[in-house]
């Protein structure tokens, strides 16, 4: 007996795929739109730059017109105050007469600090430094002498230890020691500069 072949029909089921996002259509920007976009960006940058320049110019004008004059006035006032304080400080050792003379404290500093011996040892060198300032009157010569003495640690660094020891010994600061030495130096080199002490008073009263 012929066996009838059994055909089995396999019905394929659809394969389930995971959801996939939809792919957007290709975005296209026309040439005109691109140019307009770039132009807008450039205009924005230009506007921001213009604003920045205006701000900077305004700040500069404020500095030039308002702040600088005020700073100059403050600086000038500080200079005046500094000179007055310096004058008051000097009065403690050589009262404000013209010419100045060391008082008892100033003389004590001169004699016991060792500055008198330093000035004597360095007289020729200090005189040369004073002459370099080319003072044309007694008042300026006195100022030049005191300035040179104030800078003695720079001109004679080998004297610094002696200055410190002398200042400590007499209970004064180095500036006071140098000032006392400056008055002494003035007294011994004024003739070498072609001046006399009375010239300081005459020039001071006429200025």
Tell me the per-residue pLDDT of 45-80, one tens digit each, with 9 for 90 and over.
767 776 776 777 767 766 666 666 655 555 544 443
pLDDT digits (tens, 9 = 90+) for 35-45: 766 767 777 77
Residue of higher predicted confidence among 7 and 35: 35
**158-162 contact pairs (CB < 8 A, 24+):** 159/118, 159/122, 162/114, 162/118
Q: Is the pLDDT of residue 4 over 60?
A: no
More confident residue, 174 or 87: 174
Q: What is the pTM of this model?
A: 0.58
Q: What is the pLDDT of residue 165?
A: 95
Element at 147 (helix H, strand E): helix 138-150
- d(Cα 105, Cα 89) in Å, to the nearest integer? 13
Query: In this structure, are residues 109 and 172 in contact, taking their beta carbons and an 8 Å threshold?
Result: yes
Q: What is the mean pLDDT of residues 150-176?
A: 93
What Å distances lie between residue 86 and 92, 137, 145, 168, 173, CA to CA? Answer: 10, 22, 16, 22, 14
């Amino acid at each position: 007996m012929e066996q009838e072949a059994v055909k089995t029909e396999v019905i394929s089921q659809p394969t389930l795929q995971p959801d996939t996002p939809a792919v957007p259509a290709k975005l296209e920007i026309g040439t005109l739109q691109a140019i307009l976009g770039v132009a807008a960006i450039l205009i924005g940058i230009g506007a921001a730059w213009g604003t920045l320049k205006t701000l900077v110019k305004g700040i500069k004008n404020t500095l030039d017109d308002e702040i600088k004059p005020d700073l100059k006035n403050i600086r000038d006032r500080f200079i005046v105050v500094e000179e007055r304080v310096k004058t008051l400080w000097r009065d403690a050792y050589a009262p404000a007469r013209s010419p100045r003379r060391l008082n008892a404290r100033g003389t004590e500093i001169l004699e016991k600090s060792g500055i008198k011996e330093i000035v004597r040892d360095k007289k020729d060198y200090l005189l040369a430094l004073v002459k370099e300032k080319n003072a044309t009157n007694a008042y300026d010569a006195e100022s030049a002498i005191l300035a040179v003495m104030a800078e003695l640690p720079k001109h004679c660094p080998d004297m610094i230890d002696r200055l410190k020891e002398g200042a400590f010994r007499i209970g004064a600061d180095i500036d006071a020691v140098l000032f006392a030495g400056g008055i002494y130096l003035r007294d011994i080199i004024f003739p070498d500069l072609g001046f006399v002490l009375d010239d300081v008073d005459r020039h001071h009263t006429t200025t």
